[in-house]
Chains A and B, each alone.
Chain A
Amino acid sequence: MRVSLNLIKKYIDLPKDITDKQIAYDMTLRTVEVEDVESTADKYHDIVVGKILELKNHPNADRLRICITDIGEDKPVQIVCGGTNLYEGEYVVVSKPGSEVVWHGEGEPVKVKETKMRGESSYGMICAASEVYLEDFFPSDNEYEIVDLKGVDCKPGDNIADIVEMNDTVLEIDNKSLSNRPDLWGHYGIARELSAIYNVPLKKLDTYKLDKDLPKYNVEIKEKNKCNRYIGVEIDGIYEKESPTWMKSLLSKTGQRPINAIVDITNYVMVTVGQPLHAFDKTHVNGEKIIVRNAKENEELLLLDDNSIKLTKEDLVISDEADAMALAGIRGGKKDSILPDTKGIVLEVANFSANTIRKTGKRFAEKTDSSIRYEKGIDTQRVDQGVNLALELIKEIFPDSKIVKYVDVYPNKTKNNKIEVTEEFLDTRLGKKIDRKSITQILTSLGYEVSYKDKIYDVVVPTWRSTGDISLKDDVMGDIARILSFNSFEAKPIDITIEHSINQREVSLTRRISEYLANRCGFYEIYTYPWIDEKYINAARIDTSKSLKLTTPPAPELAYLRSSLIPGMLEAISKNLRYYNNFKLFEIKQVYEKGDYRPSSEDEILPIQTNYLTGSIVGKNAKEIFYELKGIIEEMSRYNHMEDIELIQKEKPAWADKNAYLNIVKNNEIIGSLGLLSVQTMNKSKIKRTNVAIFEINMEKLTPYKSRTNTYERLPELPLVEKDLSIIVDKDIKWEDIINPIKNKVKEIEFVDEYKGNQIPEGKKSITLKLKMINEGSTMTSDEINNKMKSILKVLNKKCNATLREE
């Protein structure tokens, strides 16, 4: 919303010496966010009135003329102009060099320079209305016509901003910050806030003395819960004409387009007191009766442009005896338009319920200045302010007009909310004692009635704040705090009572695991969206029968919510392969599936939502990345202080290669899987010329230890003996087949390497292990070592037909 400080100053005397910027700042802190402070005269700098003294033809151009123009300086200047309506003695608008104009009314403003046009010098330019922001004041359909100031009281050199009364400051207020304040959608409401902020009196609005014996206009409200009040005033002697400059200027500054005097008056009233009004051409009202009723199903409202909109039974319309004339509180139709043949009007000043306007407005996805105000909830008393101001203005602008009929149908009156606020409540919650005088003064200037007795404030909330805004003592406290400014309260330290230390084991475990992966294992953490491209769901062959979908997804292919983190990971891998060949990624997020989960109350049944972890290693060598990932999972329990997990092959995940997968198992339950991506999954997710080892694990199945569990082992007094042993076994003998029979014979066995190739017979492989041995009590002799090795080889020969690999 745009607020003119000139109009504000009609209702309050702002403190002297205060800058416009300071006003904006104080309002921002206490009331609403002022986004911009605009000096409306700025854009007219160096644009002045000129008088054409002499007109000459241009020697080199037929369409251009040379104007010797008095612009109030020492001597006349020469300006070249192509305007079609030039004449000697004409008062025109001149942009001097240095001013800024919008060429032909389009695009960004351009700086005017002293220049030559076809060989003739031109000191600036003589402007058309659209070039210098004057369309609102001097409307013209012909772009070749320049502004003719005939009839305007002015002399050469006058700044044009003064002529059109644009010397003002406009505060641009963020509409969002006004959403809960229906009282601020007019200048008078803003003035009231400023009167409270600066503790200056707010002037009363004028009242119009209406003849009480006027005949009644016929208004019938059929929907009394939707229309709280309707004042209808029939006025003769109203016709289509232009508004005075001061009104055009105010409307222009506040973002309203001047149209004609009567429409302008309704808009002026709306921006001043926040009450929307509507004027119907009286001859268009069939049967001289206004009916406020629900629309009929599929009833149509004819608009000014001869299109029509289709209505439903929910919509409230203003109708005459024949058809709907307007969509109540939202927009008018063709019938209410003021046209050249208009001779009288019926003025509507009404109050419609916020709900009705919101519902209908939503269906037409259209907000109007009127509907924005109604849907916030306006008090019914504001209708009086609207009527008074409108009739005052009509009398001033149409002195010959005459009010012929009047009616006030008033089914529901806005009631004042009444609230008890104890002094103790204010003292504690504000954290600081505010004296009674200040509290009373703040509340009174905001329009509250306050009485104080026995340490209790009895507060009567003004009607304009009683439509939903202020209903609790907390609301009253908020009003006091904000007018004092939240910043005037010192930060109070928070007391810490130490009852127990914070020990949230699951939180710590998640953090440890993410740090383990990122810092120790070299993974980058990624965030992906919960909605998943179906392409990757199909690629991972994820079953979607239990998946959830969004009603209005970001894109049609993104309707599914993830039931696994794998598809999102596939997408991330596929995208990153454009720039990198080897990388590791992980993500910890929730996955969802249909189910019955009631975390907080019995009435709320949510889908099952589980924290999962996925991670992947991308690299060419499939075997290498598989074992790297396996190692990371194997070490996870030990490094992250949680109960053991095992890796056993039980059930192939849909995305895994048939030869390389393992399940992550805890207490005989599968809680995750790891494996290489299958060729099919990689093809379908456009992962090319590389391999991926990937895992996922249900984080909620992991159990952090209460504390660290391993015990210290005494350092050996004697050195460990290390011996490498290379054996040859059948290709399909597994590592576990080898170590199980011998692991009790030595202290430790390490895998060194595996070899298949030329030097080994077909169908065989060589395995090298490192054995670590120690004797209790004495150093091992070489005989003892050799005997040990021999006995180990003998066991291996028996259990898996191993032979020693000869060097």
Chain B
Amino acid sequence: MKEELEKIKSKGLERIKEAKDISELEEIRKEITGKKSELSDVLKHMKDLSNEDKKTVGMKVTEIKKDFSDNLDKKKEELIESMSVLEEPIDLTLPGKKVNEGSLHPITQMRNDLNDAFLSLGFEVYSEDDISSEKYAFDNLNFPKDHPARESMDTYWIEGTENKEGAERLCLRPHLTGGSVRYLMSHGAPARFVYPGGAFRNETTDARHERAFVQYEALIVDKDISFSSGMVMIQTILEKVFGKKINTRMREGFFPFTEPGYEIDMECLVCGGKGCKVCNNVGWIEVMPGGVIHPNVLKSAGLDPEEWTGFYINIGLDRLVMMRYGVDDVRLFHSADLRFLKQFK
């Protein structure tokens, strides 16, 4: 009897060991511990045994059952551990499923980035209409009467108004600055706002020149501020765009609507200021004009220049986006060409 039990035990353990999957294991569990198992048979035939033997065999059977149960559980753990949800291995080098396509225009992305940065400095976002008049595009901005920008070689005038003057002579705005006066007229001072928008100039186009482009203007008007406060705006923009502090320099520049006015250069990122092809060997790249708002411009916005002063910068977003990604042809921005647009996720 004892040998028989030992045989049952070793046979059972052997079977557990050889089980290949969970269902086989469950089958085995039934076979070796169930009602029709050899162990159950042994118990069924116990009545023929002496009390002494009954006790020994009973204990032995319980022990074997526990052994079986432990081994079965252990084997189950093992099998689960080695299981896969896949029937067979898959090619892990196949590409993943594409996410939804679509993206904002790279200039819109840049504009949104800048808006977020300026919003955190308490600037409002302003927008104005594309079509303006000579009065707002030039007269208010202290452009002399015979400034060449007023010519049709430079500005797109609206048919039927080209020979009129001032508020009656209409154009596609050649720059955003005229809109700044509109904002100041309606909102008054103090003011701080940014102003993104399209501007249009009658130009011969090439890889660096476009007829339609996007500008971003930022303006502060307040009492008793010095022009050096404006440098913070410049740093904000560049840090946001390039993700690190960028060295800048300000140099003399002339614009009718500023006094003083300056050109703002940033250190060439390609050569780090040493001079290379990209920066024409100067080490600096012109990024934006800026300056103190000319008293005559404040006057046309109905503000007293004795009381108020302001600082302004105007940056070409096309140019900035070109620098951000290394785009070499400005005309791509208005091409609506998906081969280009799909690159800016």
**Which A residues fall within an 8 A CB radius of B?**
28-33, 35, 177, 179-181, 355, 358-359, 362, 428-432, 468, 472, 474-475, 477-479, 481-482, 486-487, 489-494, 496-498, 502, 504, 507, 511, 514-515, 517-530, 548-554, 559, 561, 571-572, 575-576, 579-580, 583-585, 589-590, 592, 599-601, 603-607, 609
B226 contacts A428, CB within 8 Å?
A: yes
A576 contacts B338, CB within 8 Å?
A: yes
Which chain B residues (96-132) contact chain A, with CB distance < 8 Å?
Answer: 100-105, 107-108, 112, 119, 121-125, 127-132
Chain B residue at smallest Cβ distance from A468: B144
Seed contacts A522-B102, A527-B334, A580-B338; 11 additional CB < 8 Å A-B pairs: A28-B251, A362-B151, A474-B260, A494-B192, A504-B125, A523-B102, A530-B212, A548-B158, A554-B202, A559-B159, A584-B102
Please name all residues of chain A whose beta carbon is closer than 8 Å to the beta carbon of B250 when the two chains form the complex.
29, 486-487
Contact with A along B313-341 (1 / 0, CB 8 A): 00000000000000000000111111101
Q: A30-B252, A32-B252, A517-B102 are in contact. Are A604 and B133 (CB under 8 A)?
A: yes
In the assembly, what is the distance between CA of A179 and CA of B280, in Å? 23
Check B229 for interface membership: any CB of A closer than 8 A: yes
In the assembly, what is the distance between CA of A525 and CA of B338, in Å? 9
Which chain B residues (166-200) contact chain A, with CB distance < 8 Å?
Answer: 166-168, 170, 172, 181-182, 185-186, 192, 198, 200
Please name all residues of chain A whose beta carbon is closer than 8 Å to the beta carbon of B261 when the two chains form the complex.
478
Please name all residues of chain A whose beta carbon is closer than 8 Å to the beta carbon of B280 when the two chains form the complex.
35
Q: A551-B156, A600-B182 are in contact. Are A525 and B108 (CB under 8 A)?
A: yes
A493 contacts B202, CB within 8 Å?
A: no
Chain A nearest CB, measured from B115 CB (Å): 8
A432 contacts B226, CB within 8 Å?
A: yes
Contact with A along B222-258 (1 / 0, CB 8 A): 0011111101110100000000000001111110000
Check B146 for interface membership: any CB of A closer than 8 A: yes
Chain B nearest CB, measured from A372 CB (Å): 12
Please name all residues of chain B whose beta carbon is closer than 8 Å to the beta carbon of A428 when the two chains form the complex.
224, 226
A33 contacts B251, CB within 8 Å?
A: yes
Please name all residues of chain A whose beta carbon is closer than 8 Å to the beta carbon of B60 when the two chains form the complex.
none
In the assembly, what is the distance between CA of A502 and CA of B120, in Å? 9
Chain A residue at smallest Cβ distance from B130: A590
Chain B residue at smallest Cβ distance from A527: B334
Chain A nearest CB, measured from B58 CB (Å): 49
Please name all residues of chain A whose beta carbon is closer than 8 Å to the beta carbon of B226 when the two chains form the complex.
428-432, 489, 492
Interface size class of B (residues with CB under 8 A): 35 or more
Please name all residues of chain A whose beta carbon is closer than 8 Å to the beta carbon of B167 when the two chains form the complex.
601, 603-605
A358 contacts B146, CB within 8 Å?
A: yes
10 contacts between A and B (CB under 8 A): A28-B252, A472-B259, A494-B232, A528-B336, A529-B211, A549-B159, A585-B336, A600-B186, A606-B131, A607-B131
A482 contacts B260, CB within 8 Å?
A: yes
Please name all residues of chain B whose beta carbon is closer than 8 Å to the beta carbon of A603 when the two chains form the complex.
135, 166-168
Please name all residues of chain B whose beta carbon is closer than 8 Å to the beta carbon of A492 when the two chains form the complex.
225-226, 228-229, 231-232
In the assembly, what is the distance between CA of A504 and CA of B125, in Å? 8
A575 contacts B102, CB within 8 Å?
A: no
In the assembly, what is the distance between CA of A526 and CA of B166, in Å? 34
Check B152 for interface membership: any CB of A closer than 8 A: yes
Chain B residue at smallest Cβ distance from A477: B260
B220 contacts A494, CB within 8 Å?
A: yes
In the assembly, what is the distance between CA of A429 and CA of B292, in Å? 9
A527 contacts B105, CB within 8 Å?
A: yes
Listed from nearest, the 7 A-B pairs whose CB atoms lie closest are A431-B226, A478-B260, A491-B231, A572-B336, A486-B250, A604-B167, A526-B336
Check B68 for interface membership: any CB of A closer than 8 A: no
In the assembly, what is the distance between CA of A576 and CA of B339, in Å? 8
Chain A nearest CB, measured from B11 CB (Å): 49
Check B38 for interface membership: any CB of A closer than 8 A: no
Chain A nearest CB, measured from B189 CB (Å): 14
B232 contacts A606, CB within 8 Å?
A: no
In the assembly, what is the distance between CA of A528 and CA of B152, in Å? 22
Please name all residues of chain B whose beta carbon is closer than 8 Å to the beta carbon of A177 when the two chains form the complex.
252-254
Chain B nearest CB, measured from A525 CB (Å): 4
Check B75 for interface membership: any CB of A closer than 8 A: no
In the assembly, what is the distance between CA of A561 and CA of B172, in Å? 10
Please name all residues of chain B whose beta carbon is closer than 8 Å to the beta carbon of A429 when the two chains form the complex.
226-227, 292, 309
Q: A474-B295, A519-B100 are in contact. Are A496 and B252 (CB under 8 A)?
A: no
Please name all residues of chain B whose beta carbon is closer than 8 Å to the beta carbon of A599 when the two chains form the complex.
128-129, 182
Please name all residues of chain A whose beta carbon is closer than 8 Å to the beta carbon of B133 when the two chains form the complex.
604, 606
Contact with A along B248-281 (1 / 0, CB 8 A): 0111111000011111000000000000000010
Task: Find B107's partner among A468, A489, A527 (CB 8 Å cutoff).
Answer: A527
In the assembly, what is the distance between CA of A33 and CA of B235, in Å? 22
In the assembly, what is the distance between CA of A35 and CA of B279, in Å? 11
B251 contacts A529, CB within 8 Å?
A: no
Please name all residues of chain A whose beta carbon is closer than 8 Å to the beta carbon of B131 when the two chains form the complex.
548, 561, 592, 606-607, 609
Task: Find A551's partner among B162, B253, B260, B337 (CB 8 Å cutoff).
Answer: B162
In the assembly, what is the distance between CA of A585 and CA of B305, in Å? 47
Check B136 for interface membership: any CB of A closer than 8 A: yes
Check B209 for interface membership: any CB of A closer than 8 A: no
Q: A550-B157, A590-B129 are in contact. Are A355 and B235 (CB under 8 A)?
A: no
Please name all residues of chain A whose beta carbon is closer than 8 Å to the beta carbon of B55 when the two chains form the complex.
none
Chain A nearest CB, measured from B149 CB (Å): 11
Task: Find B136's partner among A553, A571, A600 (CB 8 Å cutoff).
Answer: A600
Q: A431-B226, A559-B159 are in contact. Are A481 and B336 (CB under 8 A)?
A: no
Chain B residue at smallest Cβ distance from A430: B226
Please name all residues of chain A whose beta carbon is closer than 8 Å to the beta carbon of B254 when the two chains form the complex.
177, 179-181
In the assembly, what is the distance between CA of A350 and CA of B105, in Å? 56
B103 contacts A606, CB within 8 Å?
A: no
B104 contacts A514, CB within 8 Å?
A: yes
Task: Find A481's partner among B156, B227, B229 (CB 8 Å cutoff).
Answer: B227
Q: Which of B172, B226, B309, B334 has the most CB of A within 10 A?
A: B226
Chain B nearest CB, measured from A356 CB (Å): 11
B295 contacts A521, CB within 8 Å?
A: no
In the assembly, what is the distance between CA of A491 and CA of B254, in Å? 21
Chain B residue at smallest Cβ distance from A576: B338
B129 contacts A609, CB within 8 Å?
A: yes
B158 contacts A550, CB within 8 Å?
A: yes
Please name all residues of chain A whose beta carbon is closer than 8 Å to the beta carbon of B294 when the two chains form the complex.
474
Chain A nearest CB, measured from B75 CB (Å): 38
Please name all residues of chain A whose beta carbon is closer than 8 Å to the beta carbon of B228 when the two chains form the complex.
430-432, 489-492
B252 contacts A474, CB within 8 Å?
A: no
Chain B residue at smallest Cβ distance from A584: B102
Chain A residue at smallest Cβ distance from B228: A489
Q: Which of B144, B153, B228 has the most CB of A within 10 A?
A: B228
Q: A432-B226, A527-B333, A603-B135 are in contact. Are A519 and B102 (CB under 8 A)?
A: yes
Chain A residue at smallest Cβ distance from B159: A549
Please name all residues of chain A whose beta carbon is closer than 8 Å to the beta carbon of B333 when the two chains form the complex.
527
A515 contacts B104, CB within 8 Å?
A: yes
Chain B nearest CB, measured from A701 CB (Å): 17
Please name all residues of chain B whose beta carbon is closer than 8 Å to the beta carbon of A504 when the two chains form the complex.
124-125
Please name all residues of chain B whose beta carbon is closer than 8 Å to the beta carbon of A579 when the two chains form the complex.
338-339
In the assembly, what is the distance between CA of A526 and CA of B106, in Å? 10
A583 contacts B338, CB within 8 Å?
A: yes
Please name all residues of chain A whose beta carbon is closer than 8 Å to the beta carbon of B7 when the two chains form the complex.
none
Chain B nearest CB, measured from A66 CB (Å): 43
Task: Find A524's partner among B128, B235, B305, B342 (CB 8 Å cutoff).
Answer: B342
Please name all residues of chain A whose beta carbon is closer than 8 Å to the beta carbon of B160 when the two chains form the complex.
549
B108 contacts A524, CB within 8 Å?
A: no
Please name all residues of chain B whose beta carbon is closer than 8 Å to the beta carbon of A551 when the two chains form the complex.
152, 156-159, 162
A494 contacts B229, CB within 8 Å?
A: yes
Please name all residues of chain B whose beta carbon is closer than 8 Å to the beta carbon of A514 when the two chains form the complex.
104, 108
In the assembly, what is the distance between CA of A571 and CA of B334, in Å? 12
B231 contacts A606, CB within 8 Å?
A: no
Please name all residues of chain B whose beta carbon is closer than 8 Å to the beta carbon of A522 when the two chains form the complex.
100-102
In the assembly, what is the distance between CA of A514 and CA of B107, in Å? 13
Chain B nearest CB, measured from A174 CB (Å): 10
Q: Which of A177, A478, A554, A561 has the most CB of B within 10 A?
A: A478
B102 contacts A576, CB within 8 Å?
A: no
